[in-house]
Structure 1
Amino acid sequence: MKKIIALFMLVMMVGALVAGCGGNDAKKEDASKKKIVVGLDDNFPPMGFKDENDKIVGFDIDLANEAAKRLGREVEFKPIDWSSKEAELSSGRIDVLWNGLNITEKRKENMLFSEPYMECKQLIFVPKGSPIQGEADLKGKVIGMQSASTAEENFEADKNLQASIKEVKKYPDCIAAMMDMEAGRVDAIITDEIVGRYYMGKSPDKFVALEAPVGPVGDFGIGFRKDDTNLQAEVQKVLDEMKKDGTTAKISTKWFGKDITK
């Protein structure tokens, strides 16, 4: 009887192990097919923003949709507080940051990145007719920028610029900063070239972009959790395919009039 019981227990244990292994395989398979949640600032045209129908659209949105389609996965676009983007990513509330995210050494400490897909320049934008012709002319002026943006990081690293200006105003997004400048509450703003030129194009007679970049010229990339190497590799693979077959160039031409991707 003892031998029968022992044999029965052994069979049960082997069955549990087999079931457990099968469960792990299923989990791995499910992980490769689950929905990708993209965190973004939904007021960052033309990378990601809400159109007149309250639908999130943009260059990065088109890229992410095409990448997810090729991966056979659903994608959800989740607006977040951009100043809390790293916390949103590390907590698992989102899977990627895909919204004109500048690759910096500081950010590399907390996340993985895709290969760069576009250059990121910070430019000074001023009202048309402004006497400001360059960075040196910001002395004694009130300037605006988006909170937790690359412009803010560059500004905080430039002690000479900080000491020279009268006041810096920070905004939840670039559009709010541009609107405040139009209202005369700031003398200039520093922001991403792409969003600044997009907004300026809607009112070409009101604003001027100064061509000299402020701070280093960077690159846009997609941010992933540090341990999410599988998703990073999967997304990078389809991005490479999209670049090779001309899909990326087509999407860029749709939003910028030409292929400005790297």
Structure 2
Amino acid sequence: MRKFLVAALLALGTLTATMAEAGATLNRVMATKTLKVATNGAWPPQSFLDDRNQLVGFDIDVANEVARRLGVKTRFDTPDWATMTGGHWHGRWDVAIGSITPTKARSQVVSFASVYYYSPYVFVVHRNSKARTAADLNGKKIGVETATTSEDYIRRRLAIDDPGAPPVKYLVNPGQVHTYADSMLPFDDLRLGDGVRIDAVLAPEQTALRAIKSGYPIKIIPNTIAYKEPLAIVTDKDDPQWTAKLHDVIQAMRADGTLGNLTRKWYGRDYTQ
């Protein structure tokens, strides 16, 4: 009996040590068979509701593929941007997959598991605009989504937390900055006419191309990229094992071509390099 108890205690200790090594978040995900994902609800083509009121998009496909490789299902939530990137989730979500830039400010409250693609930010004007270069927008009214890198950039305070990122060069001195609650609202104002409410929008190239494809009377200022931002899978702080696990999953998706295929599906080109 004593030998049996010793063996049982040793086995329990091994199991406990294994669970501790796996990390609390991974343990919870595997126990519930559910990956709770925070993402955007209205940011096409990254994530948006389709005609059947289903959440679809590039980030949704990435999240579903991560879950598939973990052997679990996804459950999506669409909190506001500041909450999603503010950390201190207290278990509400296991991961945020929402095309989030790893900035130095955000690194204080969340962890970045892995960069999974890159997004060029461009200046977009009404098709009747006479602006041909970024310099033509100096002193103009620029629209950006609030609490994003586009706002940080136009206010000249962008600090990307990525050792491989080139130094940020500020191309425009705006006259006014207009902020919006989601990514499409500045385009809605821009479509009203050149200078009616705003003169230009600073946004991801992917979002701008989607708006153009949807019939918005706008155009991208050619040969001008404000900055090229890395986008990362985000986890809450204090669970390095979970962050490392997601890093491995994303690297495997990159190596076997899955990420490249998904960017081509939604954007028409490979944005993973």
Show CA shifts across 1:186-205 (max 9, x none): 1111112221221122226x
Which residue of 161, 166, 171 corresponds with 2:175?
Answer: 166
- Contact 2:35 2:73 (C-alpha < 8 Å) held by counterparts: yes
Superposition pairs of residues 177-256 of structure 1, within 5 angstroms: 177-184=186-193, 185-203=197-215, 206-210=217-221, 211-214=223-226, 216-256=227-267
Question: Which residue is 1:6 aligned to?
Answer: none
Figure out how many residues of one structure are paired with residues of the other and give that number: 249
CA distance in 1, matches of 2:175, 2:90: 38
Change (3 A) 1:131 1:95: same
Show CA shifts across 1:8-66 (max 9, x none): xxxxxx9xx88986995778684250422211121111111111111111111111101
Question: Which residue is 1:57 aligned to?
Answer: 56
CA distance in 1, matches of 2:247, 2:19: 24
Question: Please, which runs of 5 or more residues in structure 2 have no aligned partner?
Answer: 1-5, 159-169
Question: Which residue is 1:129 aligned to?
Answer: 128
- Contact 2:40 2:98 (C-alpha < 8 Å) held by counterparts: yes
- Using the size of structure 2 for normalisation, the TM-score is 0.79
- Contact 1:67 1:238 (C-alpha < 8 Å) held by counterparts: yes
Three-state SS of the structure 2 residue aligned to 1:208 is: strand
Shift of 1:145: 0.6
Which residue of 20, 28, 33 corresponds with 1:31?
Answer: 28
- Using the size of structure 1 for normalisation, the TM-score is 0.82
Three-state SS of the structure 1 residue aligned to 2:250 is: helix
Change (3 A) 1:40 1:89: farther
Farther-moved stretch of structure 1 (243-252 vs 65-74): 243-252
CA distance in 2, matches of 1:122, 1:102: 12
Show CA shifts across 1:151-205 (max 9, x none): 011122269x89953322111111111011112321111112221221122226x
Shift of 1:82: 0.7
CA distance in 2, matches of 1:120, 1:166: 25
Farther-moved stretch of structure 1 (189-198 vs 57-66): 189-198
Q: Which entry has the higher C-alpha Rg, 1 or 2? A: 1
Question: Which residue is 2:146 aligned to?
Answer: 147
CA distance in 2, matches of 1:250, 1:166: 40
Change (3 A) 1:139 1:50: same
Question: Please, which runs of 5 or more residues in structure 1 have no aligned partner?
Answer: 1-13
